[in-house]
Structure 1
């Protein structure tokens, strides 16, 4: 069984409590969605499910979880674009100062453990740069 560290458990606790007992603001939603801690949790869950499925299907690759793939124009890409469109200007004031490596790291944090092609990833990086320029007047 996959073990979660204290930071991941605090993240899960905060998220579930926000969803269950409070209104999750757009800012908080973006914070959770873009967090590398959430990515770590998703990766552990994905690995756990894959290892369990592989045990039952004797390593049949077609039975693996992971059919979800990011593409800029699919439902996942549209959802990410919508979230970025709704991010506040203060976040973009930080993003506009990112160099290429930091922008790519931010895009990777947004995508998390989901599969993607490099061309689709570059589209997201470019979208982030354009959106940062729009939101900051830069």
Structure 2
């Protein structure tokens, strides 16, 4: 589980090459940002360095620095919403066909290992549902 699989390594390779040697356009940025593969990589890194991250979190808490969390209206939430606002119409067409559970799963995939409260996840799910209706009616 802690080893990177071939798809994850290709994902990292493509991302790093794009960042280092290319121009990352908005479409590509969204592909990387909303990818369950990227979230899988983040979870593995978090598990591998859990003790070290725990130590850093403790120091940050003592210094009054809050933990990295998703809230619909904080800087993390706003960055995610900004990307979702420019998601292509075909993505929203697909989302519009999903039921609530499928939309929630997608929202969880977007958040990946970021900590969040259930009511914040519900706000994101509702946003995705409403945005898909809006995009499909235009």
Quote the residue 2:11 is aligned against. 11
Spell out structure 1 runs of 4+ moving beyond 3 A. 61-66
Q: Which residue of 2 aligns with 1:35?
A: 35
- Distance in 1 of aligned mates of 2:79 and 2:73: 9
Aligned to 2:58: 62
Shift of 1:64: 8.9
Following superposition, the deviation at residue 3 of structure 1 comes to 2.3
Q: Deviations over 1:20-73 (max 9, x none)?
A: 12211211111111111100100111122223456xx6xxx8359992110000
Report the alpha carbon displacement of residue 88 of structure 1 after superposing the two structures with TM: 1.0
What is the DSSP-based 3-state SS (H/G/I as helix, E as strand, rest coil) of the residue aligned with 1:72? Answer: coil
- Residue in 1 that maps onto 2:122: 122
**Contact 1:50/1:64 (8 A) holds in 2:** no
For 1:44, the equivalent position in structure 2 comes to 44
1-side partners of 2:41 and 2:134: how far apart?
Answer: 32
TM-score of the pair, normalised by structure 1: 0.87
RMSD (CA atoms): 2.3
For the 8 Å contact 2:46–2:53, the answer to whether it is kept is: no
- The CA distance in 2 between the partners of 1:53 and 1:34, in whole Å, is 23
The two structures have a TM-score, normalised by structure 2, of 0.87
Answer whether contact 2:71 2:77 (CA < 8 A) is retained. Answer: yes
Tell whether the 8 Å contact from 1:53 to 1:63 is kept in structure 2 after alignment. Answer: no
Q: Deviations over 1:62-96 (max 9, x none)?
A: 35999211000000000011000011111111111
